[in-house]
Amino acid sequence: MLRDRQQGMRFGGPILVTGGCGFIGANLVRRLAKAGGQVLVFDNFSRGAPALISDSGVDRVIQGDIRNRAAILDALRDTWSVIHLAAFGSVVDSVADPAPNFDNNVLGTFNILDCARLAGIEKLVFASTGGALIGNAAPPVDENSIPRPISPYGASKLCGEGYCHAFGQAYGIQTVALRFANVYGPYSAHKTGAVTAFIKAVLTGHPIQIFGDGKATRDFLYVEDLCAGIERALVANVAPGSVFHMASGVETGIADLARMIARIAGRPGHPIEFGRKRIGEVERNFARGDAARTAFGFEPEWSLERGLAATLDWFIAKGDSAFLEPSSDS
């Protein structure tokens, strides 16, 4: 334990992870705690569950909402850094009703930043997005691509990046915005993303449902690779307001993804059904991770096939409970 704590000193002090009970949070807090970090989780439990991190080794789980400034300030006492994952994360839901998305992602992120300023926080890592923020730009995109979001969700993340840059420049907080690709992996049973939906369909014998003709493409990143990148960004010395794409750099068609999952599950030829494309979703997306590689050594190690196999194994091991959790994109 002493060696773990000494190793954790490289984090500078206690780390507060907002949304730490969600999919990415459940993987990240395990990694940080294993590395000796003193990890505090701040979550309102609306889209994540404390049970996901019950064996994670975190120091404390705080029930609180990023729209409640008093709760944030209380959680930030004696905290050195923040990893802000909490968000209203659905493109589809943001199109159906943009107000909750703005309330959580824009006002909530402003609250986190302003409370971090008041609390004297040294470092803040902000979970942004790639495709939803950039919009329908010719891939591969990078940090120089012009953001043109086509959904309220993408716009909310662009606002968050803007405030991160402003607070970094005005107040000296070392803010870093990381634009996540489409992340998949263990602890994602409550999500409605393509990988989770396709795995559940294959394991339950239902047809895989694809919105559109299946030719849309995405950049899929295994969660362990993402968490390694977040950890590196947390301890890296980068300019306040920096932005980095966290991506595999590989373009994968949605129909190809569905067929790959079916094949890995031992069920090639599993039925696939195509429906109407959803409003607000980009057609093609993948990104370069060169800037993150140069700045803090981000280097994805998991191939899509290997990551999907590991994710499928997790779902099989979880059993029936993987199909009982409420759906969410966060």
- Of the candidates 153, 163, 184, 222, the residue annotated as catalytic is 153
Compute φ and ψ for 138, nearest 5 degrees: -65, 120
171 is annotated as an active-site residue: no
Could you tell me the two tokens for 241?
A: 């307001």
Which residues, listed in sequence order, are joined to residue 60 by a DSSP beta bridge?
40
DSSP 290-304: HHHHHHH-------H
Rounded-to-integer distance, Cα 22 and Cα 28, Å: 10
The answer to whether 136 and 283 have CB atoms below 8 angstroms apart is yes
Place of tokens 């239902």: 206
CA separation for the pair 147, 51 (Å, rounded): 37
Report DSSP state, residue 107.
I
What torsion do the CA atoms of 130, 134, 140, 144 make, to the nearest 10 degrees?
-100
Q: How far apart are CA 291 and CA 295, in angstroms?
A: 6
Cβ-in-10-Å burial (0-12, 13-18, 19+) of 6 comes to exposed
Residue partners of 131: CB distance under 8 A and separation at least 6: 141, 154, 181, 182, 218, 219, 282, 285, 287
- Could you tell me how far CA 280 lies from the centroid of its own chain? 19
Cβ density class 112-139: b for 16+ within 10 Å, e for less:
bbbbbeebebebbbbbbbbbbbbbebeb
Query: Which phi and psi angles does 13 have, rounded to 5°?
Result: 155, -170
Q: Which residues are catalytic?
A: 153
